[in-house]
Amino acid sequence: MSLPNTFIVGVQKAGTTSLYDWMAQHPDILGPEVMKDFHFFTKDEHYSKGVNWLGRYYDDYKGEKIVMEGGVNYIFSEVAPKRFYDYNPDQKFILVLRDPVKRAFSAFNYFAKMGVEERTFQEAIADEKKGIYQEWNEKIYFSYLEHGLYHKQLQNYLKYFQLSQFKILFFEDLLTDKEGIVREVYQFLKIDETYIPEFSTKNTTGKARFRSMNKFMNTHNPVKETIKKILPIHKLLSDKHKLLISNYVLATNTTKSEKNTIPKEISDFGKTYFAKDIAMLEKLVDFDFKTKWTYST
């Protein structure tokens, strides 16, 4: 048994599930599938059980140099940085960024597919601008704009960690240069750079064949709770088997999405909304983001 020393910390809808899968194939990396978006450091019900409890998910450890966990909401969390520091101040982080306007629209479409989002994109953005979301469980789903304030989020981590402990990647590069990206990650982690994984794509947004099925699985409802009481099969399944079943159902119920266009008024608003944060991020990491993000639809 071992404990994780490397974390993919986000962001939402930026290819982190695929990247985690590619990395986990490397012989020097242990990355159990169930530990992607496990969110040990943000879920109080997990964190309160302690690191020894976390370690039981890594009982397949065979001396790998890198032991990995990932969570798309880690970078967004205000409590995670201090918890990470208390856990291990020397660990490494991998952060994948995406054009924040396109990220927001992709997240909206994903949660609509999952059955937890019922509004139009314009309505969702209008509600967020009113500041109606205060609870963590609301923010991780519906703060489409706030999730794109990358400078603000990274600064929360830099209160405890050095920028050199982060490998910052781009979703746009994951699409066009997969081998180059994994090679950069291997260099950052100081492991064999020659290994090439099988590049499959995981957790695509797509569209739901039967949206009602996803809504039933991903929201609380009295019918589901009654079924659990009558047939408590979920108590007999391990977390790994629950994940495998959930992923299979989701993949089977997903079709390739037709191209959706970001409403122009939202795209224009987004350019203004994110401008200050991106400008500060450019100074912080010394990179011109205009070379990556054009905000085109």
229 shares its domain with 191: no
The structural domain count of the chain equals 2
Q: Are 150 and 143 in contact (CB under 8 A)?
A: no
Q: Work out the average pLDDT over 20-39.
A: 96
Select from 156, 150, 151, 30 the least CA-distant residue to 85.
156
* pLDDT at residue 7 is higher than 60: yes
Select from 103, 121, 17, 26 the least CA-distant residue to 67.
26
231 assigned to some structural domain: yes
Q: How many CB atoms neighbour CB 221 within 10 A?
A: 11
230 shares its domain with 249: yes
17 assigned to some structural domain: yes
* pLDDT at residue 205 is higher than 80: no
Q: Are 181 and 188 in contact (CB under 8 A)?
A: no
What pLDDT digit, counting tens, does each position of 102-151 carry?
A: 999 999 999 998 888 999 999 999 999 999 998 999 999 999 999 999 99
243 pLDDT tier (thresholds 50, 70, 90): low
- Could you write out the DSSP letters of every residue in 111-165? HHHTT---S-HHHHHHHHHTT---SHHHHHHH-TTGGG-HHHHHHHHHTTS-GGG
55 assigned to some structural domain: yes
235 shares its domain with 115: no
Cα–Cα distance measured from residue 110 to residue 107, given in angstroms and rounded to the nearest whole number? 5
At 75, list the tokens.
């970078």
211 shares its domain with 198: no
pTM above 0.85, yes or no: no
Q: Work out the average pLDDT over 275-285.
A: 95
Cα–Cα distance measured from residue 10 to residue 168, given in angstroms and rounded to the nearest whole number? 10
At 238, list the tokens.
């391990």
275 assigned to some structural domain: yes
157 shares its domain with 82: yes
CATH of residue 189:
3.40.50.300
CA distances from 106 to 236, 245, 279 (A): 35, 24, 23
The residue with greater pLDDT, 14 or 223, is 14
Q: Are 174 and 181 in contact (CB under 8 A)?
A: yes
188 shares its domain with 234: no
Select from 99, 107, 186, 93 the least CA-distant residue to 143.
107
145 shares its domain with 221: no
What pLDDT digit, counting tens, does each position of 45-78 carry?
A: 999 999 999 999 999 999 999 999 999 999 999 9
At 263, list the tokens.
């409403």
Q: Supply the angle between the helices 264-285 and 100-113 in degrees, to the nearest 10.
A: 120
**DSSP E strand boundaries for the chain:** 6-10, 29-30, 66-70, 92-97, 166-170, 207-208, 254-255
Q: Work out the average pLDDT over 224-239.
A: 56
155 shares its domain with 279: yes
35 shares its domain with 92: yes
156 shares its domain with 19: yes
1 assigned to some structural domain: no
Report the relative pairing of strands 207-208 and 166-170 from DSSP bridges.
Answer: unpaired
296 assigned to some structural domain: no
246 shares its domain with 226: yes
Residue tagged 């159990």 (tokens) = 32
Find the domain containing 211 and state its range.
Answer: 207-255
Percent helix, strand, coil in the chain (nearest 5)?
A: 50, 10, 40
Cα–Cα distance measured from residue 96 to residue 13, given in angstroms and rounded to the nearest whole number? 9
Rounded to the nearest integer, the mean pLDDT of the chain is 87
Q: Are 83 and 28 in contact (CB under 8 A)?
A: no
297 assigned to some structural domain: no
Report the relative pairing of strands 254-255 and 207-208 from DSSP bridges.
Answer: antiparallel
137 shares its domain with 246: no
Cα–Cα distance measured from residue 75 to residue 95, given in angstroms and rounded to the nearest whole number? 8
244 assigned to some structural domain: yes
